[in-house]
Amino acid sequence: MIFGVRHSVAVATALGTLGAVIIAVLTWKGAQVTSETFLVTTYIGLFLGALWAMYATGLVVVYTTTGVFNFAQGAIGVFAAFFYWELHVNRGWHSILALFVVVGLFAPALGVVLDIVIMRRLRTASLVVQLMVTVAIMVLLLSVVGDIWEADTARRVPYLFGINNGIDLGPSQLPWHRLIVFVVAIAIAVAMRYLLRRTRIGTAMRAVVDNRELAALNGARPNVVSSTSWALGSMLGALGGILIAPELGLDPATLNNVVIIAFAAAAFGALKNLPMAVIGAMLIGLLRAHTVAWLDFGSDFRFAHLSIAPLLLLFVVIALPQARLEVGRLVHHLRRHERFTKWWEGLIGCGVIILLAVAFSGGWLNFLIWDPGAWGSRELNSANEAMALALIGLSLVPLIGWAGQINFAPLAFAGFGAFVYLKVIGAGWVTFLGLDRLGLDPQDIRDIDNGYWILLVGLLCAPLGALVALPAARLRGLYLALMTMAFAQAMSLIFFPNPWVMPIIGTGRQFPHIELFGVTFDDRRGFFLLLMCVFAVVVYALVLLRRSRYGRRWMAINDSQAAAATLGVPVVWTKVVVYALSAVIAGIAGVFWATVSGNVDSVQGFDLLIGFNIVLLVAAAGVSIPVAGIFLIFIPLFTGLGHRLEDSGNVDFLVTLLDIMTTYGPGMLVLGMVFNPRGAIFEMGRGFSPILPWRSDARAEIAAENAQKREPEIGELGIERPFTPEEVIAIDRRLGILDEVVPKEGYGAARS
């Protein structure tokens, strides 16, 4: 028996729900339903489900056997589909040979390389780093695909098994290709389950992810096992990509987005249960096919059928019991102490930021950076957008950096802020609420200084943050990431494209220039200064907040929720507050972001990938450091530098280099987290701080680290003889035991 009683009940419930939805839909639309139409729609749904099941199976296999949730699964499929097209269509190889080369040779090789070069180093990394690195791999793979196979040519991958012949279903037919894909998807899921449950290698795979060292002592070879897992996952991703490409066409973004459906399906199986993941995929396929067939959503909700997967993901993640959600392994080690930036240090730092911005935009630092004084409107425009995104990035600092609550939806919060701002300054609510009858003139509302409205936007965004925090309060780690991702995707598909939310205008600016204290910031240089000032103020506020009781609470729940609760920290309330704060910052930042260009692209502007990039860059810079957000300014800086170099001529190689840096830089930076998990800004700060006269602590830390480097590895100690006092100190340091406990002169000396 494949399923237990609980699963059977769940499946029955799901199918019953599906049936009820279909009946409701049919009643609603009043569509004429024939058995033939229903049959055809159902088999289309099952076929789509089978395709997505293949992706989901790969996700589950990799997660079950390595503990890493691979956000790059879809990108592997994209790369494989393009590679297959290159061999089969462009170079004329036979389809079977091309399939073998891509799925049988290339994909496993890619998986093994990923494992050896990157994934093994993530074994002890925090969940944030693990997720960020797989997202970075996704971005890098998509960039490589875009560079190799440019989008100026439409490409089609032919169906592997032919599409025009099949089983006769009366007026319609079921093509062999779809039948075979369906059977293959089921067979793969069954085979994978058998592999994991019934074979020695499968047992070893699951053992390694539970306890690598113990598994090794029992004869498993952890490295071989993890490489095998990645090879398998990569093969399934590649096969899924090749099979779904004929359905969607070879478009990287479109193909990659399929992975979100696979996430939902995998979540349906709690990321570990293959049969349930397959059923989840089928359920999504059926829902989507029947929705397309029977439902009319109008132009306001035109992407509603695409939002089925994220909504289901949202629902499943929230509904699943917490016990099943405990995933990931946080490496608990005692830090000597977390140093807090002093209030005057923060003040000086923010002052320096503002002064640099003034000098920079005024063109007084020509000797430092490539001709910044010559920055024209183009560079300032890009810099303004980057600074607005940096402000959005700041919202992640307390949330991810301090409280450890992963959030892939910063753009959704920012967009919501922009939406609220648009509505409050438009003063339509005055009429809507009937306040005009009480003598309130909408024009008076519009004339109120924007600063008040921006603060109001912040306050109104807080409830949204709190709302998201409620389910988040019982989620952790990966599921929190998935939930926020689903939330962001649902908002980008349902909420923002609605013309009521972001009205389309015929001319001019959707978002007027901001007016603060009587000054209208209608020129880009002034707006840049304003953004820098706001950025500095928010950074300083965060510096102070980090020193506060709430800041310490957030870090406490990040270290250990159980310990924090034991100490009397109200975990749920603390999470609600940090989410609300994050939403406030993101909402206010959203106002500035929307005002930069004056108009928001409501369809692509909130794309999940843009949100990913913000999180990626802030994480790469060091998400626990408030000033890390300024890292985003490097994007327009590089771009502007490229333009200048291009204009000056004869420096093609530099332009190319900058192009590469702009395209691949963010991804590469994030991959750097494998080695510096706390981020680039953190490392830079650590290198810089010892030269500050008052930072004796930093100098002592460096000295201790250097001393530690000279000490032998723990594994080399105490094997053939008793520990010496120095070795005990070394072990204590390795274990992160507080320095205060260990006498500086060592135990031996202390005793003497």
Long-range contacts, 537-540 (Cβ 8 Å, 24+): 537/350, 538/391, 538/394, 538/585, 538/626, 539/346, 539/349, 539/350, 539/353, 539/394, 539/626, 539/627, 539/629, 540/346, 540/347, 540/349, 540/350
Question: Cβ distance 265 to 281 under 8 Å?
Answer: yes
Q: What is the dihedral of CA 515, 518, 520, 526, to 10 degrees?
A: -110
Report the nearest approach of other proteins to the CB of residue 636 (Å).
10
Q: Using CB under 8 A, which residues numbered 54 to 93 contact other proteins?
A: none
Tell me the window of 229-237, 332-340, 576-584, 591-599 that interacts with other proteins (CB under 8 A). Answer: 591-599
Looking at the Cβ atoms of 353 and 461, the one nearer to other proteins is: 353
Tokens of 720: 């053939």
Query: What backbone phi and psi angles, to 5 degrees, belong to 427?
Result: 65, 15
Angle between helices 252-268 and 73-85 (to 10 degrees): 140
Stretch that binds other proteins, among 268-276, 393-401, 442-450, 520-528 (CB under 8 A): 520-528
How far from 7 is each of 18, 186, 197, 269, 276, CA to CA, in Å? 16, 17, 17, 10, 8
Quick one: which of 506, 649, 715, 722 contacts other proteins (CB under 8 A)?
A: 506
The partner residues of 168 in beta bridges, in order of sequence, read: 173
**Are 209 and 66 spatial neighbours (Cβ–Cβ below 8 Å)?**
yes
Q: Between residues 477 and 667, which has the closer beta carbon with respect to other proteins?
A: 667
d(CA 415, CA 410): 9
Q: Which residue of 16, 463, 503, 718 would you call a contact of other proteins, by CB under 8 A?
A: 503
**Around Cβ 46, how many Cβ atoms within 10 Å?**
21
Q: Which two tokens stand for residue 446?
A: 């519009």
- Interface residue with other proteins among 92, 219, 434, 508 (CB under 8 A) is 508
Q: Which residues have C-beta within 8 Å of that of residue 570, sequence separation ≥ 6?
A: none
Residues 343-372 that bind other proteins (CB under 8 A): 343-344, 346-347, 350-351, 354-355, 357-358, 361-362
* Binding to other proteins in span 542-581, by CB under 8 A: 544
Among 4, 6, 91, 168, binds other proteins (CB under 8 A): 168
CB of 95 to other proteins, least distance (A): 15
Instruction: Check residue 455 for interaction with other proteins (CB under 8 A).
Output: no
The H or E element that residue 234 is part of is: helix 222-248
Q: Is there a contact between 306 and 320 (Cβ–Cβ < 8 Å)? A: no
Torsion sign (Cα): 569, 575, 580, 586: positive
Which of 22, 81, 400, 532: binder of other proteins (CB under 8 A)?
532
How many residues line the site for other proteins (CB under 8 A)?
A: 107
**Only segment of 214-222, 267-275, 320-328, 502-510 that touches other proteins (CB under 8 A):** 502-510
When binding is defined by CB under 8 A, the residue of 138, 278, 380, 619 that contacts other proteins is 380
Nearer to other proteins, 126 or 450 (CB): 450
Helices within 30-126 (DSSP H only): 35-66, 73-85, 95-99, 107-117
> For other proteins, which residue of 107, 112, 262, 530 counts as binding (CB under 8 A)?
530
Under rule CB under 8 A, residue 504 binds other proteins: yes
Work out whether 12 is an interface residue with other proteins (CB under 8 A). no
Site for other proteins in 178-197 (CB under 8 A): 178
Which range binds other proteins by CB under 8 A, 37-45, 407-415, 421-429, 569-577? 37-45
Rounded Cα distance between 485 and 494, Å, is: 14
Output the smallest distance, CB 332 to other proteins, in A. Answer: 31
Which CB atom, from 468 or from 514, has the smaller least distance to other proteins? 514
* Residue placing its CB nearer to other proteins in the complex, 49 or 404: 49
Which of 24, 137, 82, 43 is closest to 252 using CA atoms? 82
Of residues 219 and 506, the one with the C-beta less far from other proteins = 506
Contact set for other proteins, span 685-744 (CB under 8 A) = none
Q: Among 212, 288, 476, 733, which residue sits at the site for other proteins (rule: CB under 8 A)?
A: 288
Of 368, 519, 562, 735, the one binding other proteins by CB under 8 A: 519
- Distance CA(704)–CA(746), nearest Å, equals 13
* Triad 209, 214, 218: Cα angle to 5°: 110
List 7, 26, 37, 704, residue binding other proteins (CB under 8 A): 37
Stretch that binds other proteins, among 11-19, 173-181, 573-581, 696-704 (CB under 8 A): 173-181
